[in-house]
Amino acid sequence: MTAPDHYATGYSSSYGTSPYVLEGSGASWDDPDDEVLAFFDPDAPAAPPLPPPVITRPHAPPPVFGSGPLPGWTDRTIKAMGRTGLLREMPNAQHQDEHKHNVKYTGMGQAPAAAAEARRKYKVEMGAAMTRRSLPFDTAEISKHFKDKGHTNLGHAMLGTSRGGVRFKLPAEWASGSCIWVCATGETSGRPVFYSHVCKIQRFHHSSFTAGSGVLGAGEWIVKQGKLFKISANSGHYRPPMDYFYRAVLHMSAAFHGDTTVFLYDTLDDKWIDYPVVSFIHAPTMGGRYKTHPDA
């Protein structure tokens, strides 16, 4: 079965060319039933720019287009941001105007350059060795640092409930060793940037990184001494659907290792599972079986 011609092949992220590519003319689908279609082909050639396809899901942005570096841009998705839109916070009262209730909003009301500087201490540089503040990024160490300082309000997004109404318990490794992250549009570069920090209940949330404005993706992750181990889309503020989460994970591709996994909800077995990132790129939802969250 060949993919339709209106999908582009080749994917180039802001951190360099990735071997993970979207469907293209003459390609074979790994999973034709998957709602976020992709396949793994390290040798796939880049395709010329193509017009956007017809989108049947109104909430979903168009697929990522990739044709190699463009003048002034390394990610065609960001250049088309006006068309794709950003992921907004969930529309409930508790998430609106949190800065009025002591939640930190970095860079709020500042000029782009000033906002970028205010957020710089949270910025994570992606690569085989991830860094923050020029040091190897380690989420467990950051969490421990704040716990040792007496912070008792560190938190995490909830995993929802099973079909039987039982609340899923957050695994110990996530409870003790993860941080929240967002993928946002760089204030001055217009390119994808990642920010990460601990979640402090009623003080520092996913919305804090961009002062409550839209993001490309959000969730939590576990990084050990610069090595990306686990990724999730757990964010009560943004609740990313698979489309947005998938795109954000593609922007992490420079940090992928053979043991990097994605934390997803398995609708068939009614449980959370660790899904290898390479398999995730092949078939993000496995034909609709996996979701970013039971409530997504």
> What are the residue boundaries of the structural domains of the chain, listed by start?
87-291
16-73 pLDDT tens trace: 433 333 332 232 334 444 445 433 333 444 433 433 333 333 343 333 333 333 233 2
pLDDT digits (tens, 9 = 90+) for 210-235: 998 889 999 999 999 999 999 999 99
Q: Inform me whether the pLDDT recorded for 75 exceeds 50.
A: no
18-27 tens-digit pLDDT: 333 333 223 2
- What does the pLDDT read at residue 236? 87
Going by DSSP bridges, is the β-strand pair 261-266/271-276 parallel, antiparallel, or unpaired?
A: antiparallel
Give the span between the Cα atoms of 34 and 88, in whole angstroms. Answer: 24
pLDDT at residue 192 in the model? 94
Say what percent of the chain tops pLDDT 70. Answer: 67
Question: Looking at residue 98, what is its pLDDT?
Answer: 73
Distance CA 293, CA 163 (A): 13
Residue 83, helix vs strand vs coil: helix
Higher-confidence position of 129 and 101 = 129
What is the pTM (predicted TM-score) of this model?
0.73
Neighbours of 39 (CB within 10 A): 21
Residue pair 113/188 in contact (Cβ under 8 Å)? The answer is yes
* Cα separation, 30 vs 151, whole angstroms: 46
248 contacts 240 by C-beta, under 8 angstroms: yes
